[in-house]
Amino acid sequence: MGRPPCCDKSNVKRGLWTPEEDAKILAYVATHGIGNWTLVPKKAGLNRCGKSCRLRWTNYLRPDLKHDNFTPEEEELIIRLHEAIGSRWSVIARQLPGRTDNDVKNYWNTKLKKKLQKIGIDPITHKPISKILNDFGNISGINIPPSPNTTTNSATHQAGPFMRKAFKPEPPSSSTTATPTSSCSNNSTIMMANNNNNDHTPQQDNYNGFFSLTPPPSAAAETFLSWDFSASASASSSPLPSAETFLGSPRESFSSSCQQQQQQQVEAQTTQGLMWREFLVSDSTLASSSGFQHEHDEEKAIEEGPSAELVPPPSVAAADFSARSDGDDMVGALCGGGSSSFVESMLDKEREMMQSQFPQLLDRLAFDY
């Protein structure tokens, strides 16, 4: 049985709001405050769906909203957050005071996506398109020549999430004193594509400085990308990379953070024994098509330890990665699951991130973290 509609849609007005309607909402909120939006139309004398009233208020009428253009700093932040957490617009919008999720989403879809594509960056993976096509060719056996200026097409979009699943990271070094820059990116477990080819354009290499803030080291984005969810599932033992690393940092900070991160990843492996590629191997399609299984077996022989039984169950492996909630659950399972879900760990990370890296924004936010 389907859920009944929240209002009689045939009898409510739809479409653009008039100034008079806006005034009624504003007057109502000024008197009664917000809450129980289904009652608002009746009490405010509006022939609108309550949900529509709520949206109008949240996206347009709220007094704390900014209606001016996005600043370069905001653009930069949106891109970096999208890179890290994807299209979770409400989460991203929370880091941008005065902006709504709708604002951010629209701005992304109409401006930022195109900007990235123009410089040869895939807006889904935030990797150079040439590299994605290259890697996709390597895995599927298709020989796709590098094409740095190719705009995103459907193949690229499909390759994006696929690549997340299919790219095999290098096995972790047994020594934590390995070259931080390379080992750090190689150990990425979420964004797995390491930049081991050098056919990027100068524009792509300057991606982090794209919006002409302080040009960070080229690896900074990867540090951010390589935030290791599995390693950081236990928040107490694995702090996030520093704020400098997050937003582009002196290389010293990056290296130090990277070493710590790598150490954590090694520890996480030995204690949890569950890396992203464990999941990949459980996907029979990928394993059989990419020649991945064999290499994995070798790695597993090295890694095999007390937690070797932690291979995700087939139901987890079969989860539709593109589905948000399923993806969360799956990553949660990969994180060692147990009592803390992926969502919880994400929220923990957000809190940590805000406290350690965006304290100034946290101060300004009215939202409860």
Partner DNA sequence: AATATCCGCAACCGCTCCGAC
Partner DNA sequence: CGTCGGAGCGGTTGCGGATAT
Q: Which residues of this chain interact with DNA, rule CB under 7 A? A: 1, 3-4, 6, 9, 13-17, 35-38, 48-52, 54-56, 58-60, 67, 87-91, 101-103, 105-107, 109-111, 114, 324-325, 343
Smaller CB separation from DNA, 13 or 165: 13
Q: Name residues whose C-beta falls within 8 Å of residue 289's C-beta, 6 or more positions apart in sequence.
A: 139, 140, 141
121 beta partners:
128
Q: What three-state secondary structure class fits 319?
A: coil
For residue 59, the minimal CB distance to DNA (Å) is 6
Please, which residue, 103 or 283, has the CB nearer to DNA? Answer: 103
DSSP letters spanning 148-178: TTPPP-HHHHHHHHHHHHHPPPPPPPS-TTS
3-class secondary-structure state, position 88: coil
Minimal distance, residue 226 CB to DNA, in Å: 22
User: How far apart are CB 125 and DNA at their closest, in Å?
Assistant: 14
Task: Using the minimum distance from each CB to DNA, give the nearer residue, 89 or 162.
Answer: 89
Q: Which is nearer to DNA, 67 or 294 (CB)?
A: 67
Tokens of 49: 């769906």
Task: Give least dist CB 40 to DNA, A.
Answer: 8
Number of other residues whose CB lies within 10 A of the CB of residue 89 = 22
Q: Pick between residue 228 and residue 329 the one whose CB is nearest to DNA.
A: 329
Least gap, CB of 307 to DNA (angstroms): 27
Contact 369, 267 (CB under 8 A): no
**Which amino acid, 98?**
G
8 A C-beta contact, residue 17 and residue 10: no
CB of 333 to DNA, least distance (A): 14
H or E stretch covering 263: helix 251-272
Residue 108 or 358 with smaller CB distance to DNA: 108
